[in-house]
Amino acid sequence: MSVERQDERQESKASVTVIGLGPMGRAMAGAFLDAGYAVTVWNRTAGRADGLVARGADLAPSAEAAVAANDLVVLSLTDYDAVFAVLESAERVVADKVIVNLSSDTPARAREAARWLAERGAGHLAGGVQVPPRGIGSPESSTFYSGPVELFQRHRTALEVLTGADYRGDDPGLAQLYYQIQMDLFWSSMGGYVHAMAVAEANGISAEEFKPYAVSTASLMPGMIEFYAPRIAAGNHGGDVDRMAMALASIEHVRHTAEASGVDDGLLAALAEAVGRGVAEGDGAASLTAMVERFRRA
């Protein structure tokens, strides 16, 4: 498509650039196309854009050209090293652009990117997408956002093409912070499940046999979080049936069962070591939630 035709098309309807065409980026570009946006895309491996181009997207010849094409630029990249590689290659054209950075990394890297862009006259919204690619385009899905509220409000309609938008505040690191603490809970929980499955299979219990019991145990978590959150907020770590000493005994029983089954017990050993240190230092009668304070001090 010629530059003139592209300019004419983008004058007639909302437009956006999407950089990074892994499964998530392709889903985002597709959602914008479905919503009637003029979409420019770029990816280091150009072939990933073929399906989107067939649907009407414009493939930019470079990252710089992709950034230059539209005022709103969405990044969906592996991490902030990849983000900075793109931004530095487009440094001459970032002024006055709004970069919506939906790549995953630490809160500190998000703040670094915001500073880098501000120094060059560009705006930055950081985001943490809470769903896999199949959830893109659904208003029931959600993404954390943080950065200047005026930028969020100005582009909210475009952001909500992708998912519902949960604004967390001006600090550009907040979206990544909320995202990473959710991932902390998710990966810790999934690690527990796959470890339990290894022990189950080592003892002849299939995933299908264990499934209803795994679901039953997992279903306890929402109620426990509802119960413990206000106690943690109040600093109330008084123990009852959840005393740290009892937790340590149970963790050791699970660890020994795994060891006897020929399953790596490193995950449980690390947990036992942390809880055991708390018990040894006088918190045996406290709730397991006292580990929040211990982890923070560490």
10: pLDDT strictly greater than 80: no
11: pLDDT strictly greater than 60: no
pLDDT score, position 239: 86
Q: pLDDT tens-digit profile of 148-162? A: 999 999 999 999 999
Order of strands across the sheet that contains 98-101: 58-59, 38-42, 15-19, 72-75, 98-101, 123-129, 138-146, 163-169
C-alpha–C-alpha distance, residues 23 and 199, integer Å: 33
Q: pLDDT tens-digit profile of 202-249? A: 999 999 999 999 999 999 999 999 999 999 999 999 987 789 999 999
C-alpha–C-alpha distance, residues 104 and 125, integer Å: 13
pLDDT score, position 65: 98
Which of 156, 289, 155 is CA-nearest to residue 228?
289
Tokens of residue 219, six digits: 């279903």
Do 272 and 248 form a contact (C-beta atoms < 8 A)?
yes
Do 20 and 46 form a contact (C-beta atoms < 8 A)?
no
Do 159 and 143 form a contact (C-beta atoms < 8 A)?
yes
Q: Of residues 199 and 3, which shows the higher confidence score?
A: 199
* 123-129 and 98-101 strand pairing: parallel
Q: What confidence tier does 173 reach under pLDDT thresholds 50, 70, 90?
A: very high
pLDDT score, position 148: 97
Q: What confidence tier does 3 reach under pLDDT thresholds 50, 70, 90?
A: very low
Q: pLDDT tens-digit profile of 24-36? A: 999 999 999 999 9
Q: What is the mean pLDDT of residues 46-54?
A: 96
Q: How many other CB atoms are found less than 10 A from the CB of residue 182? A: 13
Q: What is the mean pLDDT of residues 250-277?
A: 96
pLDDT score, position 67: 98
Q: What is the mean pLDDT of residues 54-59?
A: 97
4: pLDDT strictly greater than 80: no
Task: Specify which residues 125 forms β-bridges with.
Answer: 100
* Structural domains of the chain, with CATH: 3-171 (3.40.50.720), 179-297 (1.10.1040.10)
Could you give the C-alpha distances from 286 to 255, 281, 283, in angstroms and in order?
Answer: 22, 11, 5
Least confident of 6-20, 69-83, 123-137, 272-286: 6-20
pLDDT score, position 89: 96
Q: What confidence tier does 169 reach under pLDDT thresholds 50, 70, 90?
A: very high
91: pLDDT strictly greater than 60: yes
pLDDT score, position 13: 79
DSSP per position, the chain: --HHHHHHHHHHS-EEEEE--SHHHHHHHHHHHHTT-EEEEE-SSGGGGHHHHHTT-EE-SSHHHHHHH-SEEEE--SSHHHHHHHHHHTGGG-TT-EEEE-----HHHHHHHHHHHHTTT-EEEEEEE-S-GGGTTEEEEEEEEES-HHHHHHHHHHHHHHEEEEEEESSTTHHHHHHHHHHHHHHHHHHHHHHHHHHHHHTT--HHHHHHHHHHHHTTHHHHHHHHHHHHHTT--B-STTBHHHHHHHHHHHHHHHHHTT---HHHHHHHHHHHHHIIIIITTBBGGGHHHHHHH-
Least confident of 8-12, 28-32, 85-89: 8-12
Q: What confidence tier does 12 reach under pLDDT thresholds 50, 70, 90?
A: low
Q: What is the mean pLDDT of residues 80-95?
A: 96
Q: What is the mean pLDDT of residues 96-122?
A: 97
Chain mean pLDDT for the chain: 94
Q: What confidence tier does 5 reach under pLDDT thresholds 50, 70, 90?
A: very low
C-alpha–C-alpha distance, residues 285 and 242, integer Å: 9
